[in-house]
Amino acid sequence: MKILVTGGAGFIGSNFVYYLLQNSEDDVVCVDALTYAGNLKTLDNALNHPRFKFYKADITDKATMEKIFADEKFDVVVNFAAESHVDRSIVNPTIFLTTNIIGTQILMDLSLKFNVKRYHQVSTDEVYGDLPLERKDLFFTENTPLHTSSPYSSSKAGADLLVQAYYRTYGLPMTISRCSNNYGPYHFPEKLIPLMIKNALENKKLPVYGKGENVRDWLHVSDHCKAIDLIIRKGRIGEVYNVGGHNERSNIEVVKAILKHLGKSEDLITYVEDRKGHDLRYAIDPTKIQSELGWKHTFQFEDGLKQTIEWYLDNQEWVESVTSGEYQHYYEQRYGK
Q: Does 282 bind ligand DAU (CB under 6 A)?
A: yes
Number of residues that bind ligand NAD (CB under 6 A): 30
Q: Does 62 bind ligand DAU (CB under 6 A)?
A: no
Number of neighbouring beta carbons within 10 Å of residue 337: 4
How far is Cα of residue 152 from the mean position of the Cα atoms in its chain? 12
Order the strands of the 118-124 sheet from edge to edge.
Answer: 52-56, 27-32, 2-6, 76-79, 118-124, 174-179, 240-243
Tell me which amino acid residue 132 is.
Answer: P
Q: With CA atoms as reference, report the closest residue to 19 among 194, 190, 192, 186.
A: 186
Taking a C-beta distance cutoff of 8 angstroms, is the pair 154, 101 a contact? no
Tell me which amino acid residue 85 is.
Answer: H
Q: How far is Cα 218 from Cα 224, in angstroms, rounded to an integer?
A: 10
Q: How far is Cα 19 from Cα 152, in angstroms, rounded to an integer?
A: 27
Q: Does 327 bind ligand DAU (CB under 6 A)?
A: no
DSSP-assigned letter for residue 126: G
Q: Does 191 bind ligand DAU (CB under 6 A)?
A: yes
Look at residue 99 and give the partner it binds from ligand NAD, ligand DAU, none, a contact being a CB closer than 5 to 8 Å depending on partner kind: ligand NAD
Quick note: the x/- pattern for ligand NAD over 163-182, rule CB under 6 A, is: ----------------x-xx
Q: Does 107 bind ligand NAD (CB under 6 A)?
A: no
Question: According to CB under 6 A, which one of 76, 81, 116, 206 is a site residue for ligand NAD?
Answer: 81
Closest residue to ligand NAD, judged by C-beta, is: 10
Q: Does 10 bind ligand DAU (CB under 6 A)?
A: no
Rule CB under 6 A: which of 151-170 touch ligand DAU?
Answer: none
Residues that bind ligand NAD (CB under 6 A): 6-7, 9-13, 32-35, 37-38, 58-60, 80-84, 99, 103, 122, 124, 156, 179, 181-182, 188
Residues that bind ligand DAU (CB under 6 A): 84-86, 124-126, 180-181, 191-192, 195, 207-209, 214, 216, 251, 275, 282
